[in-house]
Structure 1
Amino acid sequence: MTVHTVAPHRAARAARRRGLALGLLAWLAGLAFFLPVAWMVLTSLHSESDAATNPPSLGAGLTLDAYREFFDSAAGTGPWPALINSFTASTFSTLFVLLLALPAAYALSIRRVRKWTDVLFFFLSTKMLPAVAGLLPIYLIAKNSGMLDNIWLLVILYTSMNLPIAVWMMQSFLADIPVSIIEAAQIDGARLPSILARVVAPVAGPGLAATALICFIFSWNEMLFARVLTGVTAQTAPVFLTSFITSQGLFLAKVCAASVVISLPVLAAGFAAQDKLVQGLSLGAVK
């Protein structure tokens, strides 16, 4: 009798210890990811002289001079054109990706085409080629077509780059949608565009939000093609960030301030869609 009573208590204590250990590990992992961001924000609030000290001075005075210099457009180097270009390229490419990926994922999950697994592998294989390997052909095509330093060239490139990932993600999301719902809509006379817009999209809303957020982040952070294919007119925020690395040296406080500002749109989008993102990823993308 005593043995049967003690055993559950030992198991409960062991489970609590495992839970505490996992919780502590999660907190340590979170701090490991958060500390570089906190250090970047703190450095952006220091003067250039304090930011350049080695080892860094944690007790140095705080100032907003780096942010004032970053937003100063008196010399014609203000960040607003680059931020607008990044927002334009990321937003439009994400919208185009969703418009193209939704019917493709529908055909691969609900109304499956023949050899749909081979089609999915083909989409995935397009991401196996290093981006730099296609840089020269794309540059020559853009040059011959007069599309260099054009924001719509980046929209086309970002759409094609993110489309395979979006199809893969949305295929797993749409596979969880009950076919009976779609059949009921077909019985009511709904055609495919109406089914996609009024039935599939609302049900797969969290998956669409997760896919859109990931595509937006990838587009916003892309720098290789933007660096080579743009100049002044279509310069994006990541390319503008590299302008602070000059022959005069690295202005560390200003670079950190610029990094904080450029990261804010992505952080705001992630915070606004965090519920949809978690719910969407749990539908099957990482299940």
Structure 2
Amino acid sequence: MARAVSNKTKALNTAIAGTLGFLMFFPILWIAILAFKTEEDAIRAPLEVLFGSGWTFESFATVQARSDYFKHFSNSVIISVGSTFLGLLVAVPAAWAMAFVPAKHTKNVLMWMLSTKMLPPVGVLVPIYLMFRDFGLLDTRVGLVVVLMLINLPIIIWMLYTYFKEIPGEILEAARMDGASLREEVIYVLTPMAVPGIASTVLLNIILAWNEAFWTLNLTAAKAAPLTQFIASYSSPEGLFYAKLSAASLMAIAPILIMGWFSQKQLVRGLTFGAVK
């Protein structure tokens, strides 16, 4: 029987949720406001910026004239999408094996894989940088696709393992009895049944790869520089140009915000896949 909740409690919960939501969204809102201001207006007091100055596209024009936004944008798309789908090629068979092949230490292996995400990236920067230098992968899309795939692979495998465990093993056994090979079982039976989970995994890892800054700043210079490098270029020894930095940041985060907005239903569905029996 569902527990009755008073209107007072509902109003309080709504107010708390609304406040937290506004606090989380406020930095994005403030960046969007400063992006349409001049540099002189951007350093004024907050209320004066909001109500006492006009709006302009000057910062966007300056950013585009100084930097090739579409080049950085295409690099971000190729790197984030490429690393995610390369990770899926490895993660789907790995998650299938962990979910449906009995093994004593599966949980320990998963925990060890996930623990690699807790390693400070700077701890392995030097060896990875030297390997990239020796193999000619510095400032290349291929190099970033590989390194971001390896970084996010534990999360991809963990999420897919969780979704695959919710699929009844009897269905796969029936497919084997009907003569399905291992490849056909994974591609034509398992994968279609886990589409919500796979979709949410893809979306989440594209976002993680899109927002990755540490590796993109240290392993690229100009040719393969994504939007994170594009934003960082507006921090200079002369100081921060708040309006231009905000314009560059807004141009960088807008695509991923739009994608997240239109795919939120699929993302929530996938993240709650198997949560309700």
**Superposition deviation, residue 285 in structure 1:** 7.9
Contact 1:172 1:285 survives alignment (8 Å): no
The amino acid that maps onto 2:244 is: K
Alpha-carbon distance in structure 1 between the residues aligned to 2:108 and 2:206: 27
Q: Does 1:68 align with 2:57?
A: no
Unaligned 5+ runs, structure 1: 1-10
Residues 200-222 of structure 1, C-alpha deviation per residue, up to 9 Å, x if partnerless? 11111111111111111111111
Alpha-carbon distance in structure 1 between the residues aligned to 2:69 and 2:129: 25
Residues 62-83 of structure 1, C-alpha deviation per residue, up to 9 Å, x if partnerless? 11111112222xx5x2222211
Query: In the superposition, relative to structure 1, how do residues 286 and 58 fare at CA in structure 2: closer, same or farther (>3 Å)?
Result: farther
Give the percent of matched residue pairs that are identical in Structure 1 and Structure 2.
Answer: 36
Q: Does 1:260 align with 2:253?
A: no
Matches within 5 A, 1:238-253: 238-253=228-243
Match of 1:57 in 2: 49
From 14, 21, 32, the equivalent of 2:23 is 32
Contact 2:117 2:154 survives alignment (8 Å): yes
The amino acid that maps onto 2:193 is: V
Q: Please give the TM-score of this superposition, normalised by the length of structure 2.
A: 0.92
From 159, 165, 182, the equivalent of 1:169 is 159
- The SS at the match of 1:177 is coil
Matches within 5 A, 1:152-191: 152-191=142-181
* RMSD of Structure 2 on Structure 1 (CA): 1.9
Match of 2:115 in 1: 125
- The SS at the match of 1:146 is coil
From 79, 86, 91, the equivalent of 2:69 is 79
Contact 1:43 1:256 survives alignment (8 Å): yes
Contact 1:107 1:113 survives alignment (8 Å): no
Q: Please give the TM-score of this superposition, normalised by the length of structure 1.
A: 0.89
Contact 1:44 1:253 survives alignment (8 Å): yes
Query: In the superposition, relative to structure 1, how do residues 226 and 249 fare at CA in structure 2: closer, same or farther (>3 Å)?
Result: same
Match of 2:137 in 1: 147
Matches within 5 A, 1:87-126: 87-126=77-116
Alpha-carbon distance in structure 2 between the residues aligned to 1:236 and 1:154: 10
Residues 171-197 of structure 1, C-alpha deviation per residue, up to 9 Å, x if partnerless? 111111122221222222111221222
- The SS at the match of 1:58 is helix
Contact 1:89 1:219 survives alignment (8 Å): yes
Unaligned 5+ runs, structure 2: none
Alpha-carbon distance in structure 2 between the residues aligned to 1:181 and 1:130: 41
Residues 213-261 of structure 1, C-alpha deviation per residue, up to 9 Å, x if partnerless? 1111111111111111111111111012111112333211111111111
Contact 1:209 1:273 survives alignment (8 Å): no
Alpha-carbon distance in structure 1 between the residues aligned to 2:149 and 2:166: 25
Alpha-carbon distance in structure 1 between the residues aligned to 2:18 and 2:44: 30
Alpha-carbon distance in structure 1 between the residues aligned to 2:208 and 2:186: 25
